[in-house]
Amino acid sequence: MDPLIELLNNNSKRTHQEIAGILGIAEAEVAARIAAAEADGTILGYSAVVDRLKAGQRGVTALIEVRISPERDGGFDRLARRISKFDQVRECFLMSGGYDLAVFVEGKDLLDVATFVAEKLSTLGGVLSTATRFQLKAYKEGGFLVNGGSDEERLPVSP
């Protein structure tokens, strides 16, 4: 991975000056490379990793395992892109194994997610089955420990 992209991926709040100092290049080059990466779609956007409970977000997150029928000349892509366009969908991945797509959705409550699955997702042509799994608690998200996890809580390792 490009070292500049890796630095931004680890901490997108770094300034151009900080990145330039770390990489030993001019700030203008940093700005130009970031602008080029944004323009060509390498950088899709920026976001903060938020502790949802501390932020007062009481909605629910669910993983929906979706089995779909591949289309001739399109495979899984066309239907996966269509599913990805729903506002409730946060992430959508093609998977190996017992199901085809892992679809992460957010809703205001369980009924909101259930309604999405029943009325929007399951009714799409090509969707064969779904299995919904609700997130109960986050321990690590976006590479960060959630709810104050620390090394002191680790269990001792014995030989």
Q: Where are the domains of the chain?
A: 3-39, 60-141
CA gap 17, 118 in Å, rounded: 50
The per-residue pLDDT of the chain, averaged, comes to 91
Residue 154 binned pLDDT confidence (cut-offs 50, 70, 90):
low
Class in CATH terms, 3-39: mainly alpha
Q: How far apart, in Å, do the first and last CA atoms of the chain sit?
A: 37
Q: Report the SS3 class of residue 13.
A: coil
CB 43 within 8 A of CB 37: yes
pLDDT of residue 132: 97
pLDDT band at 22 (very low <50, low <70, confident <90, very high): very high
Amino acid at 72: R
pLDDT tens sequence across 82-131: 999 999 999 999 999 999 999 999 999 999 999 999 999 999 999 999 99
Distance from C-alpha of 26 to C-alpha of 19, rounded to nearest angstrom: 9
CATH of the structural domain 60-141, one choice from 3.40.50.300, 3.60.40.10, 3.30.70.920, 3.30.465.10 = 3.30.70.920
d(CA 134, CA 67): 18
Q: What single-letter DSSP state applies at residue 75?
A: B
